[in-house]
Structure 1
């Protein structure tokens, strides 16, 4: 009813074996113990070989299922019952070619010995073996000649126990205690090299002397053999637990009180007529602490509480292979503490003396993700860096996580950091340079206006329509000032103000130039006999024309602002690593109308000035206007591709530069020659010089 040596997982099936109990752990627990060792050393790429019998195949199937949770099998091979040279070479070749450094073997010592001869022959020494209970303590394999291959083997061994009084019991054995026990007599004759025979004839038929006859009084206390060595009582300890389990079951059966029994009508068993099924009922409920402090009980499958010794194959000082216990696996321990290993006592046969690594692919660090290799196990993968804007914060991440809109991945792709907020500010070097240019242009316009006001009664100023010149200089001043609205952090006010001020100031400027061009042409035509056209385009009409053109632009701005005005936005699409604070134009139609109107006036002005370029030199202002409009148009045509291709704050910088460049072009082209005459050539600033031609 209670086995002390059968480990097959199949025996846990209560439907087939309802009355089977055992004090040796099932192979299922052996696999669990191996899994804990593999997890402890972080081995994820493991090879497996097993015998072609119930012991090996059940264990192989169970191990394969358990391994899926923590890693992969590099290979899985069965050792056939009839080992041919061809099969042996094939299995050894699989091991040799595999990258797995750890191999688990469910087999017996005899089967492994045949297998190891070929491993030694091919000198495959760079493998870490994990031995099942079937050969972990095999003295046949634990030989000095096998140590290059099997040295450092980790094994699962049946738990040993130091049973009190066992040594004294063994030493008290005498052949006369039971004359019918032939086994004891054979042991005695072997131990003391004597014979229990009256004739004095030994096995070979020769006569032996009286001194070689066994008396039965020889002492076992002075002997040192495996018989008296109880330091590794493994199977004996399981027999000990099995006997005591039955003893406790019988004790509980005998202690049954009538009316409280487990059987029909709460009856108890009759010890004088005991049935096996009655003892079975009590055996199920056995639960006691033995003299070694170990709990003995059975689960619902009749399996004992699993406890294994973890052994390590080492060399002692004499050069003998020592199977040393270096840990324990106790299924009944606290969760997470089932496995205990003394790492300082372990021996690794590898050159560096350290635990080997057995992985198909190295762990993917944070900042990367796993990409499974097609057609290979999940443990074999490549580590792909996360894309920009994505992160992974853990090892072996399956996928990268996208950062939110206002965040971006750091260089290592391990953390989302707040994006840099960018706008053209007054503090950075570009903002300072553009501000300086804007203020310089403003001051220059004011200086020219001051000069013209001061010299307003001179022929040069009068001949160039002083009122329109004053108004043009004011509009140029506004053009330079409006550039400042584009610098600084965008807000609702500045976004609307910058476009409105830009549109109106430039239309005012172009309108003044256009009217001046018209005045130049009409003034020339008025000099012809009988032509009095200037009376229809006097000062009032000129002012009215300028303000009419400006009013149209103002109307466009009012409609634009009332329907879909510009507003500040946080743009993170153009440059992924930055948040660009900029102004959204709101309505593309409104912005297009504003720019289109400016372009229309500039083109008309350029055409009229170009047609009037051949007027007499005295009235050569048309040439200057033509040149200024040529600069104006060239700047804004060049602005379009530069604006589109410029990233971040440079987009605004390009727009400001276009405003300043076109404003400087108009200011210098039209007013620089006049200021040159007024300030440096005052002798030419008179009516005679002006009317010279």
Structure 2
């Protein structure tokens, strides 16, 4: 009824898409491994119960051994010495399809799930996401062509390879429809040609063809019809059996009676049966019953069938010519079966042992063996030698070869490193990828490597960009303030016009920090570190010249007075000191300029700037570090001088930060790999620039805006007087110092913080020093 049909459809859908709810009911064997080989084997033959229309499976020794040869081949590869696949273990997940399409599709969907062990049912998102990167990488099976065709359409969705050991339908050779299907047996194209050649060899003029309504029988019958028409061989009749003919129900009997009548009335010299062995058994029973004694031509599906050949009275049916593929013996499998499967176990073997009684070694050696007895394994024990006699040397060997092919393919893949992949043309050798690509995880093609550089959207770069922009704004604001207060003592205290050179160099450093972001170009590489080296050396030279002014201004030793006069030339100091750095960087830019460079790191291409000359790069950093160290020493020495604005102390801190940053920079830069290497360079530049901007210049701006009383010559004079009064001792010598301290300090102030002529300043210093020396000769 319609309601019953609807219920069956609903149950089928729930069974397919929710296989873990209550279990699939599929018979299967599972063994864990790094790579899972799926198997679709006809362990038993499907039969339809005519009363309840339910599929059950009839056991068959030969197909049972097909499952065991697959397991044997996988175990043999895992245990072979030396290892075929180092550090890789093959596992299996083999399902019994009973030769039925619906069961095979259900088993295939189970294989294509991500869940590695189908025995454990855990409904999660991974299991629901079927057909995407399944644990099973290859499926071996099925035996029948119609089943393999249905399975091939499903596994192609996940690009999982399918290898059949017995499906011969020519339809499966169409790669556009079945792109992932392979087989270890020839197609029916060659078999049908061979059958036609046999007919021509015996000069038979008329033939009859019996096929079946499935991909194997229908395609083979059609191919034979085309060939016989081309060869002008008469086809007396073509009978296509229904798909459920093997169910042996009332419909089958009606069709069989019609077929028997056709055969009985036929004058064909040979009858070709191109269908499954289950259908042939029914036809042969009728042929024996009616004593046809005809000439039969068997296709490869039943030419070696033990069930047909052992049928009682089979000789009454007539003579049979059969076709088989090339036969080979599976190495060691016969001994493996006779050794009770080497005392191993699997689900299929356990099920077999539960249904059939195997003879003990003693019973097998003492008793007489009659392997034709149909009661073996049931009323009588089944000798292992008889079971081994069911090993066919075509399908079993083809299944064995399928596993060997998989192992060989994996072995070839293991020989390919990440820079190479398997050739898509031959599949047996590695093909190198280009420098800008790498092998896919499946080792079947080259994928483009991703380019990595400091993108503007990177969170770290956003922070650095903000700091760069903020530094530029602050530098410009400071320059405006210094311009407004350019005639005040505090501006002259930091070097007068030198402070503007210092601000310009800092502005250049902040601007150059932008060149480290984005895709590296030739211009950005050349502008980055070389120009920073020049700009920062100019900044340090201004600070150094300012320190020399302070030290010279407060030095009263007449022995060094003459060369102090020559040394206290700020413009000359800045020119010489920064000129040396310029002499290092100009040849660097001209002869060995930095350039964009691709660094291959794994599956990424890191874009950065090559230094061009590592030696000149080190020389640039070393020279700046040397200048920083000189400034630090001079500033540290000048910390004891009466400096109202703490120039020496602040410069000491700035230079200390600068030196520490670049000392830390070296090991980090050497060991860091990737795009953030340029970010480290940018960070070091920013910290160095901020150390001077914040440590040296920011306090001066604070005084200009919020401590204006300190930006006055009177405040400076008073500060110096108190400094010497505090440090003077009660002696005649110290008394002389007090006498001249005011005049001395005044001279220092004007020499340091005003535009007093340097020659006049030295004359004042000389007179004061002579007075101090003459006072020193008096007694108390």
TM category (shorter chain) comes to 0.3 to 0.5
Q: Which has the larger radius of gyration?
A: 1
TM-score (structure 1 length as normaliser)? 0.48
TM-score (structure 2 length as normaliser)? 0.43
